[in-house]
Amino acid sequence: MFSFLFPLVMEFFKYQSGQVIRDKFQMTQEQIQKTIQEQVTKILIKFFGGLFCTVILCYSLIELLDLLQTYIN
C-alpha cells in the first residue's frame, strides 16, 4: 500500500508547488494554476479508479470463494 501511495503523493507535491512547470515554461500564474488543477485531477482519477477496481476485484473474489465453498459443501 505504501509503495503505491508514495509516488502518488510525490507527484501531487511536485505539481502542487508548480516549480516544475514554472521552470520548464514561462507561464502566467493563471496558466500554472490551470495546469496544476488538470494534473491533480488526473492523479485523483487514477487513484480513485484504481481503488474502485480493487474493491470490485476483492468483492468478486469473495463471492467466488463463497460460491466454491457452497459447491464443495
C-alpha span between 72 and 61 (Å, rounded): 16
Integer angstrom CA distances of residue 61 from 20, 51, 54, 65, 67: 42, 15, 11, 6, 10
pLDDT tens, residue by residue, 3-41: 666 777 777 776 666 666 666 666 677 887 888 888 888
pLDDT tens, residue by residue, 36-71: 888 888 888 888 888 888 889 999 999 999 988 888
Count of beta carbons in the 10 Å neighbourhood of residue 15: 20
Dump the DSSP string for 44-73.
HHHHHHHHHHHHHHHHHHHHHHHHHHHHH-
Q: What is the pLDDT of residue 63?
A: 92
Q: What is the pLDDT of residue 34?
A: 86
Q: Do the beta carbons of residue 20 and residue 32 sit within 8 Å?
A: no
pTM for this structure?
Answer: 0.50
